[in-house]
Structure 1
Amino acid sequence: MAQRAGVSKAAASKVLNGVQDFSARPETRLRIMEAAEALGYRPHVAARALATSNGRTVALLVPKLTDLAAVTIARGAFERAAERGYVLVMSEDFDEHSAMSAFRDLVHGGRVDGLIVASSRPEHKLIAVLAESTIPHVFLDRAVPGTGRNVVLDVAGSSRLALRHLAGLGHRDVAHIAGPPGITPSDDRARAFTESALAHGLTVCHVEHAEPTEAGGAEAAAAIIGAGRATAVYASSLAQAIGAVHAAHEAGLAVPDALSVIGNDDFPIAAYLTPPLTTIAMPLWELGRYGADAIIDQLEGTAPADVVIPTEPTLVVRGSTGPPGSR
């Protein structure tokens, strides 16, 4: 490419990578850019970051790398960061020690310019450390009240959709499998579930808090089934909903004839289960993109602000919900 433009490799590299203190005539820059376009050249974002004094690198801290929601969020964040010339790295916050270790390595080690935290929990030491830190950061999905730098989904809207669907099917006694208490999306979703049920004239028989896993959903659903009233369950994660269907089968209840089940979040596996799961699809990919924009905007001089993703949840109706039956 440098040969095609009639310049040195060093000059071509500096122009393409936007080196600010490199002086070149406008016609030289034009030749380089035309040569790059003709040859289909695209600069390697990671290489560019490593070669500059500003690393242009941000980190995303997620609860579990195995979680489908976290992976989807990360894909959106990675893509948006790359579009804006930044590198995104990921770290898992499976406990407080791992989170603090990642913070020290990434931030104090000067490896990243900003931090996207998608794993905040009540009393997590990282929250207090960030409050005293100068590192630009945002809280993604799990809001930290009062920080003014939260990027979140309309989780209350997901509960309203679920209850509207169940009420339309004729259910009157409903239950909710929430996430762990104290985590904002879990609390907000559970609160909206109760409020929306009352608005539709439904009775909330049970609210069970559980980990967002298949095992957590199965255990919570077993407690709900044991109480003997609910004809429908709304779970706060797809994994919990899968566990709830399993618990229903173990109890000899047909889904949806004896118990309807709705899961939150929609992934391809939901369509291939028996029965296929009705879900509330959340804009997780868009959430990742908004999170990347929020941290990069901070790095480029914009003050932090709370953001609610404008994309609304959508209901995906499949075979796991129906009118109340024999239960």
Structure 2
Amino acid sequence: MSPRRPGPDRAPNQMDVARAAGVSTQTVSRVLSGHPNVRPDTARKVHAAVEALGYRIHAAAASLASGRTRILGMIVVSTDRYSSAALGAGVERAAAANGYTVTTAAVADHASTAAFLEAFDRLERQGAEGIVLGVPVELDTPAMRVRADRTPSTRSERASMQPDAPLIVDQHAIGRLAVEHLLDLGHPTVWHVSGDEYWLEGRRRRDAWEEALRERGIVPPPVIPGDWTPESGYRAGRTIAAIPDATAVFVSSDEMAFGLIRALHEAGRRVPEDVSVVSVDDIALAAFASPALTTVRQPFEEMGHAAALRLIAHIEGRDPEESVSDLHPELVVRASTAPPPSR
């Protein structure tokens, strides 16, 4: 049975929440103030009752009473790329389920270390109790260690709070899946449109591409540089279109692949009849491209969700309730790949 909301003449209070959750008002107060000694299942019941009743906590009053803000910070690259939005959605979902709010600071792509540190400091001043880093920044530096001693932080793509923790999703495996799929179809070689070299993910995929080719005795062709944008994919597509023997391309992101396919189409090169294309991410539009993209799926929202849960557990002095360190990339085969054309 759903909790009964108070009448229209008054807003719900903590007694209403306690009654709906089947706990005492003291327990409700402890949960909402972020007290560490509360059972996880009890906290979930209280948060569910809060949501069902529409109870609203006065943030300033709660902060004064508990000495806590229950704010998570998130630093992201200022971009319209799908990955950043999906990552943020995962952080928001985990925060809301645990009674936290999220405040975000954006930095430019290729931002200086000083700009990143300024964003970190700004979130601290806004009361962030912990910060999710959704940017390609090196954690193990003196400046970061000073800040981490003050405010816990975690990389969104890492499996734990440690700076040298493994990536949640194996980017090397992503590159292998893409390249081996094309080679197994019979293509004599695979060209590569790389991601931004500033990002570790792009470098790992490029290394996997080169390794997969060399293992089969194939000398890798020159890398075609990209920067994650459709525009860079379009430029790369014009380059590929001018290479008659190019029959297969591994593109380091779906958004670059959209631009590449457009350029091939304009040049009269058909996908996949003339050129097969594999990309990475499996964003929502990948299935609706023309042709539908063969791509390697990355679970961005799950990565953000896991990072936020990991951070909240650290802030509250407990072990995280779930781990996603074993998430595996998945090759999603659609219509943009086929065996090479017969000569």
TM category (shorter chain) comes to: 0.7 to 0.9
- Are 2:233 and 2:257, in contact at CA under 8 Å, matched by a contact in 1? yes
CA distance in 1, matches of 2:29, 2:118: 33
5+ residue gaps, structure 1, are 22-29
Encode CA deviations 1:54-94: one digit per residue, 9 max, x unaligned.
Answer: 11211111113521011111111211222233222222211
Counterpart in the other structure of 2:230: 214
Amino acid paired to 1:162: A
Encode CA deviations 1:140-193: one digit per residue, 9 max, x unaligned.
Answer: 2389xx833565321111112112211221112111111122421111111111
Select the residue among 332, 335, 338 that pairs with 1:316: 332
Counterpart in the other structure of 1:70: 84
CA distance in 2, matches of 1:252, 1:2: 63
Counterpart in the other structure of 1:199: 215
- Are 1:171 and 1:202, in contact at CA under 8 Å, matched by a contact in 2? no
Select the residue among 99, 107, 130 that pairs with 2:116: 99
CA distance in 2, matches of 1:200, 1:193: 11
Task: Indicate yes or no: 2:183 matched with 1:162.
Answer: no
Amino acid paired to 2:81: D
Counterpart in the other structure of 2:30: 18
Task: Indicate yes or no: 2:57 matched with 1:41.
Answer: no
CA distance in 2, matches of 1:189, 1:248: 23
Counterpart in the other structure of 2:38: none
- Are 2:32 and 2:99, in contact at CA under 8 Å, matched by a contact in 1? no
Task: Indicate yes or no: 2:306 matched with 1:286.
Answer: no
Counterpart in the other structure of 1:90: 104
Counterpart in the other structure of 2:37: none
- CA pair 138-10 structure 1, distance change in 2 beyond 3 A: closer
Instruction: State the secondary structure of the residue aligned to 1:315.
Output: strand
CA distance in 2, matches of 1:104, 1:221: 41
- Are 1:162 and 1:315, in contact at CA under 8 Å, matched by a contact in 2? yes
Task: Indicate yes or no: 2:146 matched with 1:111.
Answer: no
Range moving further from structure 2, 82-91 or 310-319? 82-91
Deviation at 1:49, TM superposition (A): 6.2
- CA pair 164-149 structure 1, distance change in 2 beyond 3 A: closer
Instruction: State the secondary structure of the residue aligned to 1:179.
Output: coil
CA distance in 2, matches of 1:248, 1:46: 56
Range moving further from structure 2, 221-230 or 73-82? 221-230
- Are 2:74 and 2:105, in contact at CA under 8 Å, matched by a contact in 1? yes
Counterpart in the other structure of 1:296: 312
Instruction: State the secondary structure of the residue aligned to 2:191.
Output: strand
CA distance in 2, matches of 1:319, 1:197: 23
Amino acid paired to 2:290: T
- CA pair 308-160 structure 1, distance change in 2 beyond 3 A: farther
Task: Indicate yes or no: 2:169 matched with 1:153.
Answer: yes
Instruction: State the secondary structure of the residue aligned to 1:208.
Output: coil
- CA pair 9-235 structure 1, distance change in 2 beyond 3 A: closer
Select the residue among 67, 73, 79 that pairs with 1:53: 67
What is the CA RMSD across the aligned residues, in angstroms?
3.6
Q: How many residues align?
A: 306
Deviation at 1:17, TM superposition (A): 3.5
Instruction: State the secondary structure of the residue aligned to 1:249.
Output: helix
Deviation at 1:239, TM superposition (A): 0.8
Query: Sequence identity, in percent?
Result: 28
Counterpart in the other structure of 2:287: 271
Counterpart in the other structure of 2:193: 177
Amino acid paired to 1:239: E
Amino acid paired to 1:297: A
- CA pair 309-172 structure 1, distance change in 2 beyond 3 A: farther
Counterpart in the other structure of 1:26: none
Deviation at 1:221, TM superposition (A): 3.1
- Are 1:49 and 1:56, in contact at CA under 8 Å, matched by a contact in 2? no
